[in-house]
Amino acid sequence: MTVRPATTTLLAAALAWGPSPPAHAADTTITQQLNHWSAQAGAPGDAARGRTFFDARHGGEWSCASCHGMPPTGSGRHASTGKTIAPLAPAANPKAITDTARVDKWFRRNCRDVLSRECTPAEKADVLAFLAALR
């Protein structure tokens, strides 16, 4: 392959800028979130367990699916306020699980609503594995 001088100059200029910084330090992918919670749990998330967990009522009146729908690839509706909720599955909403602070906040809040406690790292990993598997 022959590289022309103009191409070499453009390539050198592009390399001088270096890699572009991430859009936001907290931005992640669902895979990164899944890896984080799987590491915290000491085992990989399991999509089948995540699906069961997502759809179960856990002794209360709500499940995750009560608001997010089953499967959570379409818009949901908050069970008590009626507010529309954007699709949770990344396949339907690529921005759904990209901000670590928001993911942590919503897991904490929603787990308390559904379970009356915080979710364990294993439960979070399982739900994320389920969401990542949806197409």
Q: What is the CATH number of the domain that holds 112?
A: 1.10.760.10
Using DSSP's 3-state secondary structure scheme, residue 36 falls into helix
Domain that holds residue 78: 24-133
**Residue type (1 letter), 132:** A
- Contact by Cβ (8 Å): 31, 114: no
Kind and range of the H or E run holding 76:
strand 76-77
Walk along the chain (135 residues) and give the pLDDT tens digit of each residue. Answer: 444 444 333 333 333 333 333 344 456 888 999 999 999 999 999 999 999 999 999 888 899 999 999 999 999 998 889 999 999 999 999 988 888 888 899 999 999 999 999 999 999 999 999 999 999
pTM for this prediction: 0.78
19 inside domain? no
Domains: count for the chain: 1
Residue positions counted in the chain: 135
In a domain, 13, yes or no: no
What SS3 class is residue 109? Answer: helix
